[in-house]
Amino acid sequence: MIKLDRIDLKILDILQRDARSTIKEIAGKLNLSTTPIFERIKRLEKAGVIDRYVAILNPTLLGKKLTAFIHISIKDHTKESVEAFVERVVSFDEVIECHHVSGDSDFLLQVLLEDIEKYNQFVMEKLSVVPNISKLESRFSLSVRKKTNLVYIQTGPAK
């Protein structure tokens, strides 16, 4: 497990908010020269702490106006059946999250689609076709009040 000091954490905090921050800008904020910032970033990338850099798009402007949460229970819980189920489900581009969860149901999916019609089509033609489903319950997001990728990092004082 990689060791992270205060400077590393601040770099992470800056980059996860704006990946376009230049090394010079970060160096300015942290009162360092560009070299240590550059090398620390490379180190964080190699260690996997920084997984990747992505552009976040506005789904609405791309016609994806519906977010739904689908709770699914499965019949057969043998490892092979579960894996086969997961493999099918995560292969759908509409599915943006898939969690194996505790509680009444076994899986919780988050799906992103154009609208209710596409949702219906997705469930009917793609999802419910997947074997091993026993129960399927949907909720729709009426409004997204927060959605972030930020991993909260304490960047207070101390060392």
Residues engaged in binding DNA (CB under 7 A): 7, 22-24, 27, 31-36, 38-40
**Scanning the structure block, which residue is given the tokens 């702490």?**
49
Task: For the CB of residue 56, give the shortest distance to its own copies in the complex, in Å.
Answer: 5
How near is the Cβ of 159 to its own copies at its closest, in Å? Answer: 17
78's contact among DNA, its own copies, none, with CB below 5 to 8 A by partner kind, is none
Strand, coil or helix: 8: helix
C-alpha 121/C-alpha 129 separation (Å) is: 11
Q: CB under 5 to 8 A by kind: which of DNA, its own copies, none does 133 bind?
A: none
Burial annotation 51-73 (CB, 10 A radius, 16+ → b, else e)? eeeeeeeebeeeebebbbebbbb
Choose the one of DNA, its own copies, none that binds residue 23, judging by a C-beta under 5 to 8 angstroms depending on kind: DNA
